[in-house]
Amino acid sequence: MRLVIAQCSVDYAGRLSAHLPLATRLLMLKSDGSLLVHSDGGSYKPLNWMSPPCSLAVSQPDELQVEAGITELWTVTHAKTADQLIVSIYEVQHDSAHELGVDPGLIKDGVEAHLQKLLAEHIHLLGDGHTLVRREYMTAIGPVDILARDASGASVAVELKRRGDIDGVEQLTRYLELMNRDPHLAPVVGVFAAQQIKPQARMLAEDRGIRCLVLDYDAMRGLDDTASKLF
Amino acid sequence: MRLVIAQCSVDYAGRLSAHLPLATRLLMLKSDGSLLVHSDGGSYKPLNWMSPPCSLAVSQPDELQVEAGITELWTVTHAKTADQLIVSIYEVQHDSAHELGVDPGLIKDGVEAHLQKLLAEHIHLLGDGHTLVRREYMTAIGPVDILARDASGASVAVELKRRGDIDGVEQLTRYLELMNRDPHLAPVVGVFAAQQIKPQARMLAEDRGIRCLVLDYDAMRGLDDTASKLF
DNA sequence: GTGTGTATCTCGTTC
DNA sequence: GAACGAGGTACACAC
C-alpha cells in the first residue's frame, strides 16, 4: 500500500461524471491497483475511488498543465468497464509505501440470522400455542424466514427484519399471496417481526391484515442464556 | 489526519459484534475523531470503522496484554450510540500526521435525474403520440417520476430507474393503484423504464400489465446533443 | 429533526 | 456468473 498526501484535483468519468476541485487529500493506492481519495472528515466513504480490478498509469503533464502547477497525472482505468479516474497532482506533501500482506478478514457475529434462530427457538413469542414448522421455508419466489402454525392449526408466515420497512411488508405480501394459493398451506396468516417497525410499514401491514410484532433482541438473548443455563 | 501502519487486532461491539485477528493494517484517524481500519485490498469499504461523532482514548495495556505483545490500546466510542471499537496495537511501522483542511467536496453530474430530464424532453420514446404532462407529479404517497398522456388521451405513469428491480415495480404498482382511484386521471397505465431491467422485475411488471421500456442512456444523450446543436 | 429514495453502493449467498 | 437480499449501509433531499 502506498500513501500519498498531495494537493490534487480529481475527475471521474464512468457511471456518472464527477469532479473534485483542488485541495489537499489522502491518496491510498492499494496493491490491487485500486485507489481511494480521502478527505479529513466525513465517514468511511472516500470522496472518490476506483474499485479493482483496475490499473494505474502515471504520466507527465503537458505544457499548459505544467504552467497550471500540475506535476504528475495519474490515470486509473477499470479493467472491464473502462471507467476512468484522473488525478491531477500538484504538490506532494508525503509519500510512503508499506507491506501489509493479506488480511485474515472480519469475523462477524449475529444480526438477522441470529434473530431468526432466536425466534425459531422461542416460537411462543408469536403467541400461545404456536409451533415451528421450519426456518427458511422455500417458495417459488424465495424463502420465507419462518413458517409456523398457530393454536388453531393455521399456517403462519413470518418475515423478519432488523428494521421493519415498507419493503419487508411488500415482500411478505408476495409470499402470502402465493402461499394462500397452496391448498396444503392455506389459510396462511402473516406476521411482520422486527426490532423496530416504521409507522408507514405498520400501517401498510395492518391494512393488509398482517400482524406486527416488535422483537426485543436483548431480551431474546436473555431467554437464550437462561435456556442454556437451565438445560 | 493521522496515518498509522501497525500490527493490530480490532474488536467492534455495537449493532453487531465483529473481530479482526492480528495483522498489519492502516489505521486512518480523521480530525473529527473517526477511525478507519483498512487492509491492502478490497474496495473502498474499510474492514472496520467508527463514524463521527466519536472520540478516541488511548490507554496502556495491562500486564497480561503487555505479555501478549500489545503496546497500546485505542478505544473509539461513538458519542450517541455508545458503539465501541477497540484497537489493540502491537508493533507500529509508521506514524505520521498531516494537515488537510476542509474539502470543497464532490461535484456530481447526472444519473437518474439526467435520465428523467432526457426522457421528459424526448417523450416520444414512450411511443408515438405521447405528450408530457409533468415531471415529479405529486401524489399522496410520493412523486411519480413522469406523468404523460398517450395518443388516446389515457394517463401514463412512468417510473424511472437506472437498474430496474422488483422494488421499482412495487413502487409503480402503488402509484397506479392510487392514481386509478382518481377520476381525473383514470385510466392510468404504467411504464417501467430503466437502463437495465432484471428478469424478475420484468416478469412481475408484465404480469401486472405494466409495460417495460429499456432506455439507452448514451443514445438519449446523443439525441440531446443533436437537439442542442439544431436549436 | 425524521422519513424516504438512491447509490460509481459493497458484500455475501444462492442458484 | 447472475441475481437477490442485507447493510454498523451512507447520503441527499423533502417534509
Residue B230 has pLDDT above 70, yes or no: no
Residue A156: pLDDT band (50, 70, 90) is very high
Taking residues A144-151, report their average pLDDT: 91
Among B73, B71, B122, B93, which Cα is nearest to B6's? B93
Residue A112: pLDDT band (50, 70, 90) is low
Distance from CA of A147 to the nearest CA of B (A): 23
Q: Judge whether B18 is closer than 8 Å to chain A, CB to CB.
A: yes
Residue A143 has pLDDT above 90, yes or no: no
- pLDDT for B16 equals 79
Q: Is the CB of A198 under 7 A from strand D?
A: no
Per residue in A17-73, pLDDT tens? 888 999 999 999 999 899 999 999 888 999 999 999 999 999 999 999 999 999 999
Residue A75 has pLDDT above 80, yes or no: yes
Residue B37 to residue A85: CA distance in whole angstroms: 24
Per residue in B161-195, pLDDT tens? 877 777 788 888 888 888 888 888 889 999 988 87
Per residue in A57-71, pLDDT tens? 999 999 999 999 999
**Coil vs helix vs strand at A128:** coil
Among A81-90, A126-135, A216-225, B197-206, the range scoring the smallest mean pLDDT is A216-225
CA of B20: how far to CAs of A104, A231, B8, B46, B207, in Å? 8, 32, 8, 12, 47
- Å: B105 CA to D12 C1': 14
- pLDDT for B111 equals 61
Residues within a 7 A CB radius of strand C? A 12, 14-16, 18, 48-51, 83, 105-106, 138, 143, 166, 198-200; B 42-45, 106, 108, 111-112, 141-142, 161-162, 167-168, 171
Nearest nucleotide over every DNA/RNA strand to the A200 CA, judged by C1': C3
Residue B140 has pLDDT above 90, yes or no: no
- pLDDT for B207 equals 84
Residue A187 to residue A180: CA distance in whole angstroms: 6
Per residue in A161-214, pLDDT tens? 777 777 788 888 888 888 898 888 889 999 988 877 777 778 888 888 999 998
Task: Indicate the burial class of B57 (C-beta count within 10 angstroms; 0-12, 13-18, 19 or more).
Answer: exposed
- pLDDT for A226 equals 57
CB contact under 8 A, A20 and B107: yes
Nearest residue to nucleotide D12 when comparing alpha carbons to its C1'?
B108
CA of B197: how far to CAs of B51, B166, B201, in Å? 35, 9, 7
Residue B223 has pLDDT above 50, yes or no: yes
- pLDDT for A64 equals 93
Neighbours of B72 (CB within 10 A): 17
Which domains are present in chain A? 2-97 (2.70.180.20), 112-230 (3.40.1350.10)
* Percent of chain B residues past pLDDT 90, beyond the cut: 43
Residue B5 has pLDDT above 90, yes or no: yes
Residue of A nearest to B51 (CA): A43
Among the partner-chain residues B19, B41, B48, the one whose CB lies closest to the CB of A32 is B41
Q: Is the CB of B30 under 7 A from strand D?
A: no
Name the A residues in 170-199 with CB < 8 Å from any B CB. Answer: 170
Residue B152: pLDDT band (50, 70, 90) is very high
Residue B110: pLDDT band (50, 70, 90) is low
Among B29-38, B208-217, B218-227, the range scoring the smallest mean pLDDT is B218-227
Residue B228 has pLDDT above 50, yes or no: no
Q: Is the CB of B48 under 7 A from strand D?
A: yes
Mean pLDDT of chain B: 86
The residue whose grid cell reads 481519495 is A37
- pLDDT for B225 equals 57
Greater pLDDT, A90 or A144:
A90
Q: What is the 3-state secondary structure (H, E, C) of chain B?
A: CEEEEEEEEEEEECCCEEEEEEEEEEEEECCCCCEEEECCCCCCCCCEEECCCEEEEEECCCHHHHHHCCCEEEEEEECCCCCEEEEEEEEEEEEEECCCCCCCCCEEECCHHHHHHHHHHCHHHHCCCCEEEEEEEEECCEEEEEEEECCCCCEEEEEEEEEECHHHHHHHHHHHHHHCCCCCCCCEEEEEEEEEECHHHHHHHHHCCCEEEECCHHHHHHHHHHHHHHC
Taking residues A103-116, report their average pLDDT: 77
Nearest residue to nucleotide D15 when comparing alpha carbons to its C1'?
B142
Among A63-72, A219-228, B111-120, B159-168, the range scoring the smallest mean pLDDT is A219-228
Judging contacts by C-beta atoms under 8 Å, the chain B residues touching residue A161 are: none
Name the A residues in 101-140 with CB < 8 Å from any B CB. Answer: 101-111
Residue A90 has pLDDT above 70, yes or no: yes
Residue A108 has pLDDT above 90, yes or no: no
Residue B25: pLDDT band (50, 70, 90) is very high
Taking residues B106-118, report their average pLDDT: 74
Residue A224: pLDDT band (50, 70, 90) is low
Name the B residues in 40-79 with CB < 8 Å from any A CB. Answer: 40-49, 51-52
